[in-house]
Structure 1
Amino acid sequence: MAANPRNGRPYRRLCTAQRALLLPCWWCGKPIAYELTGLAAQRHPLAFTLDHLVPLSRGGDLTDPTNARSAHRRCNSARGNRTDAARQPVRSSRRW
């Protein structure tokens, strides 16, 4: 069985570099709670997660910096594997 590539050094390095940019969520444009780390970040909907412009399920590269985007955990989950061309508001009816 192959190891999980998200546990590898290149992916972790990409996450660290993307997090250091302190960018807003590329999907909704709102600030990300970068101060959340550890278990809190794994569960909090506004925590940072690395999203991919071209979803991995559609051939996107896991460790390509040009495919990496900063996103809220909930935006990334709600987006699923939609591409930017099929962009629709993730939470048009939700309030922050």
Structure 2
Amino acid sequence: MAGNPRNGRPYRRLCEQQRALALPCWWCGRDIDYTLTGAEGQRSPWAFTLDHATPLSRGGDLLDPANARSAHRRCNSQRGNRTTARPQERASRRW
């Protein structure tokens, strides 16, 4: 049985490369707190996570640097596997 590919060296290297760019969250556009690491980073919604422009469930490549994006943990979770409609592009309701 194969292990989790996110625990492998190539994936960790891609995360390190993306983190080194210190880019804002590609989803919401706000700055990411890159100082949050380890257990603290796993709990914080504002910590860095590696997101994929084309979700893995829709055929995106886990290790393709062109598919890698910097995101807040919160934004990555909220986005799910959607490929469109960033938060600032969504139409708001008028009540």
> Normalized against structure 1, the TM-score is what?
0.89
Residue 85 of structure 2 aligns with which residue? 87
Unaligned stretches of 5+ residues in structure 1:
none
Unaligned stretches of 5+ residues in structure 2:
none
Give deviations 1:2-57, integer Å, cap 9, x for gaps.
10000001000000000000000000000001000100000100000000000000
Alpha-carbon distance in 1 for matches of 2:23, 2:73 = 14
Deviation (angstroms), 1:88: 3.7
Alpha-carbon distance in 2 for matches of 1:55, 1:36 = 24
> Normalized against structure 2, the TM-score is what?
0.90
Residue 54 of structure 2 aligns with which residue? 54
Kept in 1: contact 2:50–2:69 (CA 8 A):
yes
Matches within 5 A, 1:37-76: 37-76=37-76
Count residues in correspondence: 90
- Large movers: runs of 4+ above 3 Å: none
Q: CA RMSD in A?
A: 1.5
